[in-house]
Structure formats: structure tokens, C-alpha cells
Amino acid sequence: MWIAHEAGRELMGPLPAGVEVAVLPAVDAPPPGDPAAVEFWVPPNVSSPGLVALAGPMTGLKVVQLLSAGADAWIGRLREGVTLCDARGVHDPNVAEWVVGAIIASVRRFDHFARAQAAHRYAAAEVTPTDELTGKRVLIVGAGSIGAATAARLAPFDVRVTSVAHTARDGVHGVADLPRLLPDADVVVLLVPLTAQTEGLVGAAFLAAMPDGALLVNAARGRVADTAALTAELASGRLRAALDVTDPEPLPPDSPLWDMPNVLLTPHIAGAVQGTVPRAYRLVGAQVRRYLAGEPLDNQVRGGY
């Protein structure tokens, strides 16, 4: 098997005898052995087309275990018979933490005060009193494990959380309910995977349905939102946004989003915390042991989920 981090050797825990582990840390790194001999691959957590193409010479490949929760770059690009697994559960605490932090930073205007600090300007009178998270109506679009973790972390703030998934189930609305749910949401959090159904989900009609002053938080994928529609709506000043992802990414230097006072931007770092690698390789170790025991693998990606 090939893994992406040297530290993963120890973090995976004990593996059965006979497992040969090599490290391929980056797409441009020299292969650590014969690609055709690789059965189980844990690629680096950067899903570029060049990285996915490395699977081509791995003619004996049986499993690709991602370190990311999103699998959109890989779906439909692996040969038949290769099982694709994501890292569902690994990123729950870190992404949920970013979402809560981004909401608080936005409603309490930490971004405004950070800009004022950089300009050596005491800005107490400029935006105070600020809004607050307490009592907000939060709509979470994406009711997977990260969505559940986000809802749990929002609970102490006395918010009302409503969840939406691609199909309705007990306690969770379906996407078809969005038109009637959006007008009642103070904060809309995007946590859906990127699929054919979710690409461009947040378009002009979606944004227009959000009430004046509402906050859009995108910790999913940039292409879930239509960039032109989002930019136009934010330029009007009617809505606020906290964006960890954009389309394109990186965001071009000339994008007007950079300079909008109602936009908080971070560079796709919601999942980038120190605890990610240990959590990820605990999952990898468990998956390898399941694979060698002939047991079903967890987190198998089917239909983009």
C-alpha cells in the first residue's frame, strides 16, 4: 500500500504481517516503487487531476481511501473494480468548528475590526452594536456527519436548527423544501458534497429567497454556488457571506469578493487542523484491516455520497 504521510506508518496502528507500506507524499514526488503492485492507495489530500491520473499505472489497485470528506474529483475516474472510500467522520470536528467560528466572526463583525486594526483605527462606533448568534434560525444544507456535528456545536447558542438533505427523512427536509425554508433562515450553511445535483444549487433564485441581512456560509465546494449570482447579490449589500471555498479556486486577485465588506474569506482551510492526520490514519488503519480480513469497507462512495 502507498500512503501520503510518513507519520501514517505509526498512526495506522498494527497491520497484519506482509503489508508493505511506502510513502508517496505529493503528485510530483517520484514513485516509491512499482505502481502496478499497489492494491491500497491513500493519496495526498489534494485532489487535482494530475493526482487522480496517478491511479492509471496502478493496474493492481483495489481500494482508494481518501483523506478528504469530498470525493468529487475522483468519481467516475477510477477503473471498474476499484472501491473508492472517503474520510467521512474525520473532518467533522474541524469543519464544524470553522462553521461556528465563521458565523460568530461574521455576525460579531470580527472581519471589520481586523481591517480596522490593520489600519490602526479604533472602530468601536462604526458597526456596534453588532448582531449576535444567540437566537438565530440556522438552515444547514447537507445533513451528513459534518452537518450533524455543526448542529451539535450550535446548540449551546440557543439557535433553531433546520436540516436539509438530498432526500427527506425523519427530522430532515428534502431539497425540494428549500424554497419555503430559505425565507425563514438567518444563516444558511452549505455542507453538501459536489454532485451533478448540487452543482450550482445556490443560484439567483436561492439567494433571492434568503431574507435581507441573512448570512450564507459555504464550507462545501465553491461550485455549489453560482459565482456570478453570488457576487451580484453580495455586491448589492443585501446579504453577508463567509466563504471557505470559491469557484474558481484559488480566487483570482481581481475578484470583487476580496474587497466586499460583507464577505469573510478563508482559503479552503476549514479542515486543515493539526488533529486531522492522526484521525485520518486511524481510519486508514481500520480500513486496511477490514480489507485484509475480507470485510466490507466503511465510507464507500456511491452516487457522489
Ordered by start, the domain boundaries in the chain are 2-90+274-292, 92-265
pLDDT in tens, 134-189: 999 999 999 999 999 999 999 999 999 999 999 999 999 999 999 999 999 999 99
Say whether 240 sits in a helix, a strand or coil.
strand
Task: Note the pTM of the prediction, 2 decimals.
Answer: 0.93
pLDDT in tens, 256-271: 999 999 999 999 999 9
Q: Which of 77, 153, 268, 289 is catalytic?
A: 268
Q: Which of 6, 10, 132, 249 is catalytic?
A: 249
Q: What is the pLDDT of residue 11?
A: 98
Q: Which of 5, 221, 223, 240 is catalytic?
A: 221
> Who's near 295: CB < 8 A, 6+ residues apart?
none
* Domains 2-90+274-292 and 92-265 are alike in CATH topology: yes
Peptide bond preceding 129 in cis form (omega within 30 of 0): yes
CATH of region 92-265, choose from 3.40.50.720, 3.40.1190.20, 3.40.1160.10, 3.40.50.2300: 3.40.50.720
The domain 2-90+274-292: what is its CATH number?
3.40.50
Distance CA 3, CA 10 (A): 12
**Residue 221 among the catalytic residues:** yes
Identify the helix (H) or strand (E) that includes residue 208.
Answer: helix 204-209
Whether residue 292 has pLDDT greater than 80? yes
User: Cβ distance 153 to 143 under 8 Å?
Assistant: no
Whether residue 47 has pLDDT greater than 70? no
Whether residue 274 has pLDDT greater than 90? yes
Distance CA 300, CA 33 (A): 27
**Residue 268 among the catalytic residues:** yes
Please provide the DSSP assignment of 6-29 as one string.
TTHHHHT----TT---EE--STTS
pLDDT in tens, 192-208: 999 999 999 999 999 99
For 140, phi and psi rounded to 5 degrees? -100, 115
What's the whole-number average pLDDT of the chain?
96
